[in-house]
Amino acid sequence: MIWNEVLETLPREELEALQLKRLRATADRVHATVPFYKKKFDEDGIQPADIRYLKDLQRLPFTTKTDLRDHYPFGLFAVPMEQVVRIHASSGTTGKQTVVGYTRQDIDTWAELMARSLAAAGAQKNDTIQNAYGYGLFTGGLGVHYGAEKLGAAVIPISGGNSKRQIIVMQDFGSTVLTCTPSYALFLAETAEEMGVDIKKLKLRVGIFGAEPWSEKMREEIERKLNLQAIDIYGLSEVIGPGVSIECLEAKQGLHVFEDHFIPEIINPQTGAILPYGEKGELVFTTITKEAFPLIRYRTRDISVLYPEPCKCGRTHVRMERVSGRSDDMLIIRGVNVFPSQIESVLMNIEGVEPHYLLIVDRKGNLDTLEAQVEVNEKVFSDEIKNLQVISRKIENDIKDLLGVTAEVKLVEPKSIQRSEGKAQRVIDKRKI
Ligand code: DLL
């Protein structure tokens, strides 16, 4: 179902006219209210009035995570605190967390975008949505919550964790939609199995999973284990939270970016040069309706591709390919660029291997080492040593073939890799460089 038929299917020309109008208003506002932007615009010799066409966006400066940290906590807010009604923050694995603010209007916009997202995934008024994204400073919980209420569905604000209780609630309340990280969805499947509950027979119909990278293979695995349609949802706190883009149930091919609120661009992460549609690079977003925390050309570090072709679902908004990883997740191992998602794709192609793994990077002498701890299923694990060796050898060879790096693979017992209730940790980098 299309929640906002008019705006989500706006003919391209009208959409672009709306974007231009909103971009100009945003540029005006940030220049007038946020000293950081005024200084940057002035340094670059560009004034809001110079924006006459959409492509003039390219003349505006980028904003980075470092800029956000330098103005911690509220330095980039464009409204006085009396107009701010909510604050969220992203965990930030390194350094300070990033803090974002919302006006009442921003909360309404977010709820609208989340209602659109849930509807695109196939959720409706009569659904019961078990929202297992964490509630708190993380945007996942409350983001989904307000959208689900706006949609008119019944939302269960269970938050993450307490996994046995999740299964009981799923069973007793008859949840039809599950929202959580993809890794937690798999953990819930395991929990159900341990409890002797056949999760496949419950009423779950759709799962809306995001907040961390996952692969097409992992989608297949989740759909098989939970017997539902798994939909990819993307977003980041800085831009608004979840609800920046989502796949539609009809096509499940790329995530529609809500372009009447955010303008996406793809750039070469090394040079900053704009890349054309169809080319892979770093996603950059400009928010064009946000009040409290507008962002101009924010570099996400997320790697994706934009596709302008219309979708069979009828939405006209551009689609982005599923995010395969972050440019700052990239490991450089003996000079070779390695994304954890590439190793995941190797693992997922091997029979008996579970989608739970941990990459440990270290340095011995002057040489980088990569150890991949990989979980196998019960059947493989109880197999003869000889067969286990065949599997680990195969993984090592496939990694070598695909990436050209040597990995030491350790097959580990089922359920021995720590599960997460939110974003999974896949990499431990012990190198002190
Ligand atoms: O993770 C917002 C969110 C909540 C999205 C619930 C989807 C569902 P942050 O904590 O600020 O916000 O983390 C944002 O997570 O820059 C990506 O690197 C990653 N990410 C989010 N969604 C996806 C996805 C939320 N579908 C960062 N695929 C982003 C891959 C994702 N990575």
Q: Domain with 223 in it: what CATH number?
A: 3.40.50.12780
N residues, the chain: 433
Whether 185 maps to a domain, the answer reads: yes
Percent of the chain with pLDDT over 70: 99
Report CA(177)–ligand 1 centroid distance (Å). 19
Whether 73 maps to a domain, the answer reads: no
Pick the closest to residue 81 from 70, 92, 73 (CA basis).
73
> How many Å apart are CA 72 and CA 55, to the nearest integer?
31
DSSP characters for 65-123? HHHHHHTTTTTT-SS-GGGEEEEEEE--SSSSPEEEEEEHHHHHHHHHHHHHHHHHTT-
**Range in 180-194, 213-227, 337-351 with the lowest mean pLDDT:** 337-351
In short, whether 340's Cβ falls inside 6 Å of ligand 1 is no
284 pLDDT higher than 70: yes
Residues 412, 300 within the same domain: no
Residues 249, 111 within the same domain: yes
Tokens of 94: 């390194």
Report CA(285)–ligand 1 centroid distance (Å). 14
Q: What is the 3-state secondary structure (H, E, C) of 174-212?
A: CCCEEEECHHHHHHHHHHHHHCCCCHHHCCCCEEEEECC
Residues 316, 400 within the same domain: no
Q: Which of 328, 344, 372 is the last residue of a domain?
A: 328
pLDDT at 92: 60
Nearest residue (by CA) to ligand 1, atom 1, is: 211
In short, whether 234's Cβ falls inside 6 Å of ligand 1 is yes
Residues 225, 371 within the same domain: no
Residues 348, 320 within the same domain: no
What domain count does the chain have?
A: 2
Residue 214, H or E segment: none
Pick the closest to residue 120 from 147, 158, 142, 139 (CA basis).
147
255 pLDDT higher than 80: yes
Whether 348 maps to a domain, the answer reads: yes
Tell me the pTM. Answer: 0.92
Q: Which of 294, 328, 362 is the last residue of a domain?
A: 328
pLDDT at 339: 86
State the closest ligand 1 atom to the C-alpha of 302, by its place in the atom list counted from 1. Answer: 18
Are the CB atoms for 155 and 131 separated by under 8 Å? yes
Residues 260, 373 within the same domain: no
Report CA(111)–ligand 1 centroid distance (Å). 17
Whether 254 maps to a domain, the answer reads: yes
* One-letter identity of residue 87: I
DSSP characters for 21-39? HHHHHHHHHHHHH-HHHHH
Whether 164 maps to a domain, the answer reads: yes
SS3 350: coil
Q: Which of 309, 328, 347 is the last residue of a domain?
A: 328
Nearest residue (by CA) to ligand 1, atom 21, is: 211
Whether 29 maps to a domain, the answer reads: no
Q: Domain with 346 in it: what CATH number?
A: 3.30.300.30
Report CA(236)–ligand 1 centroid distance (Å). 5
pLDDT at 334: 84
Whether 287 maps to a domain, the answer reads: yes
Q: Is the dihedral of CA 415, 416, 422, 424 positive or negative?
A: negative
pLDDT digits (tens, 9 = 90+) for 226-237: 999 999 999 999
Q: Is the dihedral of CA 276, 277, 280, 283 positive or negative?
A: positive
Q: Is the dihedral of CA 289, 293, 294, 295 positive or negative?
A: negative
pLDDT at 97: 86
Q: How are beta strands 427-429 and 353-364 bridged, if at all? A: parallel
Nearest residue (by CA) to ligand 1, atom 20, is: 211
pLDDT digits (tens, 9 = 90+) for 30-65: 999 999 999 999 999 999 999 999 999 999 999 999
The mean pLDDT of 238-255, rounded to a whole number, is: 98
Whether 148 maps to a domain, the answer reads: yes
Residues 354, 304 within the same domain: no
State the closest ligand 1 atom to the C-alpha of 237, by its place in the atom list counted from 1. Answer: 11
pLDDT digits (tens, 9 = 90+) for 290-325: 999 999 999 999 999 999 998 999 999 999 999 988
- Residue 280: CB atoms within 10 Å: 13
pLDDT digits (tens, 9 = 90+) for 352-369: 999 899 999 999 888 899
Pick the closest to residue 189 from 234, 131, 228 (CA basis).
228
Q: Is the dihedral of CA 134, 140, 144, 146 positive or negative?
A: positive
pLDDT at 86: 98
> How many Å apart are CA 230 and CA 179, to the nearest integer?
10
In short, whether 139's Cβ falls inside 6 Å of ligand 1 is yes
Nearest residue (by CA) to ligand 1, atom 27, is: 236
Tokens of 401: 């073939």
Residues 265, 350 within the same domain: no
Region class of 174: left (phi > 0), else alpha (psi between -120 and 50), else beta: left
Confidence of residue 128 (pLDDT cuts 50, 70, 90): very high
Pick from 234, 245, 256, 420 the residue to mutate for probing ligand 1's pocket: most ligand atoms within 8 Å of its CB.
234
Range of the domain at 407: 336-429
Percent of the chain with pLDDT over 90: 86
* One-letter identity of residue 80: P
In short, whether 299's Cβ falls inside 6 Å of ligand 1 is no
106 contacts: CB under 8 Å, gap ≥ 6: 86, 240, 290, 291, 292, 293
Residues 317, 360 within the same domain: no
Residues 232, 342 within the same domain: no
Average pLDDT, the chain: 95
- Residue 330: CB atoms within 10 Å: 16
Residues 316, 347 within the same domain: no
pLDDT at 94: 54
Residues 270, 340 within the same domain: no
What are the distances in angstroms from CA 412 to CA 305, 322, 358? 35, 29, 10
Confidence of residue 153 (pLDDT cuts 50, 70, 90): very high
